[in-house]
């Protein structure tokens, strides 16, 4: 969604012209609301007080939305264009007589900045390949710079993904990991979606094993989970970013789910696939996170049947909204919280491994040798060791998990 805001000062004529600008943008696929990419300020210069009001408004808009671009139009723009062009965040200035040209400028700028998708996959590893199916992100989380660096969400076509999978299979690879910045956003702007792609991959049946890389909770539908549960090709392995178990923090992060909604997804997975691996990401010390809110996250994860966690200590990133938030958490507090969650993650991983002791599961054997033993991963992503027999490399073997050792 291409989002914009328009702010109007002054007379009723300005308000009518702002409405015309907004209508034309909306007719070209833009939307008023959400996190704005463009902010239009329709100015007034009838008095010095009106000019000051415009300056204060533009400054506040840039401070609150540092990644948005400001386009300033109207009477103040006509009188002092050179001054306005020097304001922070302003990318273009139009006067009163040509303020509708602001729309043409925005549309042309959008066309010139639209990122292009290009496909890619790895084949250097004989056993596994990482296949890019999507790029970019439209979520705009307040702690993240990836969506700034990668641009808007875009995807490959189902037809081309299937072609790449066939090429990967023909190269002798047995497993593919579907990757992207926001894999669950596959097909945005088209009639395709991730569920359709997964069904097509299952129908193609070119590879023995397919994994879904990190997928946002709101994009992981029950239909996708059901498909994974019944398909021998799709591996029972989910990586679902959580970031926090506190709803207030999730809101400040601009995440698109509640802790309860996240928990419901995990429990649904475990109901259909009790031995599925469910990994999550957690950020400690997000700005404003109190001791009580961290404890809320800790106990939420303590009770949740996740297999392990990737724990990240919050770090300030330039050009992000969170970087400008007040109540930054002291470094020593952040690291103490990280250590506690890492200990919890280790306990959960060992419990998950112990749960699978005695089971016989399919293992894709890799070429890596550790302590004179081969390694490989089960379908539910448990790393196992096997006798060092070169003939086993790049084969899928039924392996009984005998004993789990500490991973520290």
The reported pLDDT for the residue numbered 407 is 57
Tokens representing 342 are: 């890492």
CB atoms within 10 A of CB 271: 11
The reported pLDDT for the residue numbered 1 is 61
Could you read off the pLDDT of 168-180 as tens digits, one per residue? 999 999 999 999 9
Place of tokens 């008023």: 32
- Reported as a pLDDT band with limits 50, 70 and 90, residue 203 is very high
Tokens representing 100 are: 């509708």
Backbone CA torsion sign across 15, 20, 23, 29: negative
More confident call, 145 vs 280: 280
Look at residue 278 and tell me if it is in a domain: yes
Domain boundary pick from 90, 113, 136 = 113
Are 127 and 236 in a shared domain? yes
Look at residue 171 and tell me if it is in a domain: yes
- Reported as a pLDDT band with limits 50, 70 and 90, residue 212 is very high
Look at residue 325 and tell me if it is in a domain: yes
Are 255 and 368 in a shared domain? no
Place of tokens 């204060």: 56
Q: Is the pLDDT of residue 228 over 70?
A: yes
What is the average pLDDT across 233-261? 98
Find residue 121's DSSP bridge partners.
131
What is d(CA 383, CA 363) in angstroms, rounded to the nearest whole number? 9
Are 126 and 108 in a shared domain? no
Are 276 and 375 in a shared domain? no
Are 329 and 367 in a shared domain? no
Look at residue 68 and tell me if it is in a domain: yes
In this structure, are residues 353 and 404 in contact, taking their beta carbons and an 8 Å threshold?
yes
- Reported as a pLDDT band with limits 50, 70 and 90, residue 148 is confident
Are 97 and 162 in a shared domain? no
What is the average pLDDT across 299-323? 94
The reported pLDDT for the residue numbered 149 is 75
The reported pLDDT for the residue numbered 265 is 98
* Cβ-based neighbours of 38, under 8 Å, separated by 6 or more: 3, 4, 5, 30, 68, 69, 71, 106
What is d(CA 174, CA 388) in angstroms, rounded to the nearest whole number? 20
CATH number of the domain where residue 69 is located: 3.40.50.2300
Cα-based angle 147, 150, 153 (whole degrees, multiple of 5)? 75
CA proximity to 135, closest of 204, 62, 185, 173 = 185
Q: What percent of the chain has pLDDT over 70?
A: 98
Are 245 and 184 in a shared domain? yes
Q: Is the pLDDT of residue 406 over 70?
A: no
What is d(CA 321, CA 141) in angstroms, rounded to the nearest whole number? 8
Which residues form the domain of 320?
Answer: 120-353
Look at residue 244 and tell me if it is in a domain: yes
The reported pLDDT for the residue numbered 55 is 92
Are 184 and 79 in a shared domain? no
* DSSP assignment of 134-160: EE--S---TT--HHHHH-S-EE--HHH
Q: Is the pLDDT of residue 102 over 70?
A: yes
Are 278 and 169 in a shared domain? yes
Number of domains, the chain? 3
CB atoms within 10 A of CB 267: 12
- Reported as a pLDDT band with limits 50, 70 and 90, residue 356 is very high
Look at residue 405 and tell me if it is in a domain: no
CA proximity to 379, closest of 363, 395, 396, 359 = 363
What is d(CA 175, CA 207) in angstroms, rounded to the nearest whole number? 6
What is d(CA 370, CA 196) in angstroms, rounded to the nearest whole number? 39
Q: What percent of the chain has pLDDT over 90?
A: 78
* Cβ-based neighbours of 405, under 8 Å, separated by 6 or more: none
Domain boundary pick from 69, 90, 113 = 113
Mean pLDDT of the chain: 93
Q: Are strands 69-74 and 38-43 parallel, antiparallel or unpaired?
A: parallel
What is d(CA 380, CA 312) in angstroms, rounded to the nearest whole number? 23
CATH number of the domain where residue 291 is located: 3.80.30.20
Lowest mean pLDDT, pick from 103-117, 234-248, 260-274: 103-117
Counting Cα atoms < 13 Å in the Cβ hemisphere of 157 gives 3
Its pTM stands at: 0.81
Counted residue by residue, the chain has a size of 408
Q: Is the pLDDT of residue 346 over 80?
A: yes
For 248, phi then psi, to 5°, come to -65, -40
Could you read off the pLDDT of 87-98 as tens digits, one per residue? 989 999 999 889
Place of tokens 């996190």: 35
Are 145 and 279 in a shared domain? yes
In this structure, are residues 158 and 131 in contact, taking their beta carbons and an 8 Å threshold?
no
What is the average pLDDT across 35-60? 91
Give the CA radius of gyration of the chain: 26
The reported pLDDT for the residue numbered 369 is 87
The reported pLDDT for the residue numbered 123 is 76
Domain boundary pick from 84, 113, 142 = 113
- Collapsed DSSP state (helix, strand, coil) of residue 7: strand
* DSSP assignment of 182-203: SGGGTTTTSS--HHHHHHHHHH
| DSSP conformation class of 329 | P
- Collapsed DSSP state (helix, strand, coil) of residue 116: coil
Are 260 and 280 in a shared domain? yes
CA proximity to 16, closest of 42, 38, 46 = 42
Are 88 and 132 in a shared domain? no
More confident call, 20 vs 311: 311
The reported pLDDT for the residue numbered 408 is 46
Look at residue 234 and tell me if it is in a domain: yes
């Amino acid at each position: 969604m291409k989002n914009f805001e328009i702010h109007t000062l002054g007379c009723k004529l300005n308000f009518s012209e702002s409405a015309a600008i907004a209508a034309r943008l909306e007719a070209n696929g833009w939307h008023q609301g959400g996190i704005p990419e463009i902010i239009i300020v329709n100015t007034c210069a009838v008095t010095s007080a009106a000019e000051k009001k415009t300056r204060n408004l533009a400054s506040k808009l840039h401070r609150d939305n540092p990644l948005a671009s400001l386009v300033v139009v109207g009477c103040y723009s006509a009188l002092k264009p050179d001054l306005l062009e020097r304001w922070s965040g302003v990318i273009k200035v139009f006067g009163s007589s040509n303020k509708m040209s602001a729309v043409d400028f925005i549309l042309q700028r959008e066309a010139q900045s639209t990122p292009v998708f290009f496909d890619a996959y790895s084949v250097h590893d004989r056993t596994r390949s990482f296949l890019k199916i999507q790029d970019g992100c439209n979520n705009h989380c307040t702690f993240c710079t990836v969506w700034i660096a990668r641009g808007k969400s875009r995807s490959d076509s189902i037809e081309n993904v299937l072609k790449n999978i066939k090429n990967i299979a023909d190269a002798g690879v047995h497993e593919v990991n579907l990757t992207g910045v926001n894999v669950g956003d596959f097909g945005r702007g088209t009639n395709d979606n991730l569920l359709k792609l997964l069904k097509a991959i299952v129908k193609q049946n070119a590879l023995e094993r397919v994994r879904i890389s990190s997928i946002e909770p709101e994009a992981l539908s029950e239909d996708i989970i059901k498909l994974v549960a019944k398909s021998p090709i799709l591996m029972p392995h989910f990586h679902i970013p959580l970031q926090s178990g506190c709803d207030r923090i999730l809101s400040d992060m601009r995440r698109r789910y509640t802790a309860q909604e996240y928990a419901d997804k995990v429990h649904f997975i475990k109901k259909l696939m009790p031995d599925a691996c469910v990994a999550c990401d957690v950020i400690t010390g997000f700005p404003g996170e109190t001791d009580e809110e961290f404890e809320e996250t800790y106990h939420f994860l303590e009770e949740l049947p996740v297999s392990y966690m990737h724990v990240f200590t919050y770090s300030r990133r330039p050009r992000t909204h969170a970087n400008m938030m007040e109540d930054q958490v002291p470094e020593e507090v952040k690291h103490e919280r990280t250590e506690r969650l890492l200990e919890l993650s280790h306990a959960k991983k060992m419990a998950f491994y112990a749960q699978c002791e005695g089971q016989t599961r399919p293992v894709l054997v890799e070429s890596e040798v550790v302590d004179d033993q081969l390694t490989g991963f089960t379908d539910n992503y448990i790393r196992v060791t096997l006798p060092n027999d070169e003939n086993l490399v790049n084969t899928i073997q039924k392996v009984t998990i005998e004993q789990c050792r500490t991973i520290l």
